[in-house]
Each structure stands twice: as structure tokens, then as C-alpha cells.
Amino acid sequence: MDRSPPEVRTSRRRLRACHECDWLVALPPLRPGEKADCPRCGHTLVKRHYRPAQRSMALALAALLALAMAVSFPFVSFTVGGIGNRIELSQTATTLIGFHQPVVAIAVILTIIVLPAVYLLGVIWLQLGLLRDAALPASRSIARSLAHLNPWMMADVFIIGALVSLIKVAGMAQVELGMSFWAFCVFALLLLVTTQSIDSDWMWFSLAGEPRAPEGARTGEPAAPQGLAGCATCGLVNRLEDSGRSHCRRCGERLHARLPHSLQRTWALIAAAAVMYIPANLYPIMTTTSLGQSSPSTIIGGVVELIQMGSWPVAGVIFVASVIVPVGKLVALAWLCLVVERSDELNANTRTRLYRLTEFIGRWSMVDVFVVAILVALIRAGSLMSITPGPAALAFGSVVVITMLAAMTFDPRLIWDPPLPRRSRRRSPGPPRGMPG
């Protein structure tokens, strides 16, 4: 299989419709290290890498090896008053099951071990086929799955949660980091670099080529009014069918001019997250037992406790991740839904940047859930010192997941759609921002 860039293998015009503003552009020739951004909103359409198959393969193998080491050795241990405990990485999830928190346990094990391992195995499977000049079975289905798995892998967030946990414990007991901790830090870094190394445009072109662009497609204009839609998975521009049940010609993903009922679904998820945020703050997220006396702690209570201990930086991290981010995300998504039909009154580029920020920061709220998982597994010294999870752990984890889903169901292309006629009569929209492709 030819490993040269798509620009070398075809002279046909290759079109892309921006996933954030729906602007139709023709991709320019790209050299390794270069990228093509949407001229209208600045969203990165394609990023070319040097030797993408070899690079992704090597990084994925190294990350998988680091993960194997992380689950095979002790993660962290603590000692207090001659009594100690040592845990492995998997116990941060399995211990929660014993405290009747199976949903939180499943979320922890999936986001830090299972889904990253599946992702890395998928990358290795795909790149191995491409390096052997023959795609392996199910390569297209696996390639489609990689993009869907990416937001739910949270190894980097878990590292922050582990550091916060260790700072909390360090003031009460002696802590010793195991080989698994350092291996997991390396794994989290390699996983992040692996996800950034995937050249999706080259990969899909190598797997399935690229059909001709639809006839009559005009660059420098939105795609939807032309009856076109860009595939969110492989990027191919397709013509939408009148039946409304279009699928990508290359990867088979469902296509929509706009996500169906995007605003309604986003509003419903915002409301659900707001409801769950109430018990997440009213109920204790964990209970600490020291010398036989139990002390329940809410999210805000934990922040206050850290401030009293003098750990201002850690308190700031928890406050931002557990209070500012969830509330800010709910407010931002609600505001975007409210003003989405007033593109003639507010700057669409500004709102698009707000959406990107909202989508990016949502997963970092899982820090508090990971802190609870680590402390519950580690601090188990009976009546001398122990920590148990509270009902707020499940409620807060639900808030994180629901707000992530809300950001996914919101279609940012709606921001760039023409305003309602009533608004248009009040103020005529200016010329579209960006340059023709």
C-alpha cells in the first residue's frame, strides 16, 4: 500500500466541509507538519504527519507496554501508626463495588484502563494492516470507532486526581509511590501523544481511497444549502439523499445536514445535569473516619478543608474542576442554545470558540470522582483511618457524563446558519467571514 500523502496519489480536487461552521473548502497540498484550517472559523480540517503509520504504531505499542506495567505492579501505599495499605491500579475501581458503587466503579475502570487499551489495540491493528500493504479485517469499523472513543479516555485526568489524592494523604500518613504510578504517568503521556499522532485523512485515504467530489459542489459557501454534508468521521463530502437517511460513501457513518433535534436534546441534557448537580453538592462525596469518629465531606467542604490545611493550589484545582467547570459548562451551553438563532446580532467566531472551550474542559471535572476512587481504595485502616464513598460520587459523575453528552449533541454549525427572517429584517447580515476555497 502506497504510504505517500493523498496529494501525491491523486490529482482530483479533495473537498472538506468544516464540522463547526459547514464551510466547503478544497484541501491544499500539505507537507508533513503542515495543517489545513477552515478559513471561516479556524477549525483544523487536516493535519499531516511524517510517516504517520510508523509513528502511531510505535507510540501505541509503547503506551500499551506502559499500561501493562501500570496494572502489574503496586500503584501507591501508605502507612499511619504502624498500619498501612498498598493498592494496585485496578483496585481504585474494584474497591468501589464493595461500597455499593458499581456504576462509579465501571466508569473509573472504563475511562482509565479498558477504553484506552481498546483504542491502542485498534490503532495497532489499523497501522499494522497499512504497513503490511493489506488492510486487516474490520479495519473500517475500527477506524470509525477510534474517533468515538477519544473523548472518553481520561488517563491524563486520572493523573491529576492521583496527585490531588496524594497531597491530601501526605498530611495524614506516609505515602510511597510504586512503579505502577510512574508507569501510568508515562502511559498517560504516550496515550495523549498517540491520539495526536493519528493522521485521519491519510489513514482513510489509504484504507478506502476517496470517491469523486459531488458534481456541482461550490467551494467558499456552506455545504448544507447545496445538499451536501461532510462526514464527521472520515471527512468525505457526500450528497444528502432526499429520504434523510444518508450514509457516508467511504466509512458508512450516518450523515445529517444538521444533527436532528440538536437544541431539544441539548436542553434536555442541560436540565438533567442541573438536577443531578443539586444532590452532587448537598450530599457528602466521601466520609472520613479517624480514630473512630466519622466526618462526611461535601465537594465544597473538601475545598474548605484543603484551604485550612494550607493547600491552596490543590483547593484551587478542585474548586475549578468541580464547581467552576460544571456550572460554567451548563451556563455556556444554555447561552449558546438561546442565542443560536441570532447570528446577525452576536459574533459567530466568538461563540464557536466558546463551544470549543466548553467541549474541551468538560472531562476534567472527573478529577473529584477519581480522587474519591483512589482515597477509598488506599485509606483502609479500620477505625484508625478509613474513607468511604458518599452518594454524591454517583451524582457528580452523572453530571460530568451528561454535560459531555450535551456538548456532543449541540451542533455548532447552527451558530453559522442564517438568522430567522424576523431577525434578518432588523439587521442585514454582513458578508461571510473567511476566504473562498
C-alpha separations of 101 from 93, 191, 306, 393 in Å: 9, 28, 25, 9
- Residues listed for the chain: 437
Is 172 within the bounds of a domain?
A: yes
Is 9 within the bounds of a domain?
A: no
Would you say residue 430 has pLDDT above 50?
no
Is residue 237 within 8 A of residue 33, CB to CB? The reply is: no
Dist CA 419 CA 378 (whole Å): 55
- Band the pLDDT of 380: cuts 50, 70, 90: confident
Is 227 within the bounds of a domain?
A: yes
Is 86 within the bounds of a domain?
A: yes
Is 26 within the bounds of a domain?
A: yes
Longest CA–CA span in the chain (Å) reads 77
pLDDT at 387: 84
173-206: pLDDT as tens digits: 788 899 999 999 999 999 999 999 999 999 999 8
Reported as type and span, the H/E element at residue 385 is strand 385-389
C-alpha separations of 204 from 82, 136, 144 in Å: 58, 14, 10
pLDDT at 388: 87
97-116: pLDDT as tens digits: 988 899 999 999 999 999 99
- CA 319 to chain CA centroid, nearest Å: 21
Is residue 173 within 8 A of residue 82, CB to CB? The reply is: no
35-64: pLDDT as tens digits: 999 999 999 999 998 888 899 999 999 999
Q: How many domains in the chain?
A: 1
Is 377 within the bounds of a domain?
A: yes
* Structural domain of 324: 15-419
Is 10 within the bounds of a domain?
A: no
Q: What is the pTM of this model?
A: 0.88
Is 134 within the bounds of a domain?
A: yes
Reported as type and span, the H/E element at residue 103 is helix 102-109
Would you say residue 431 has pLDDT above 60?
no
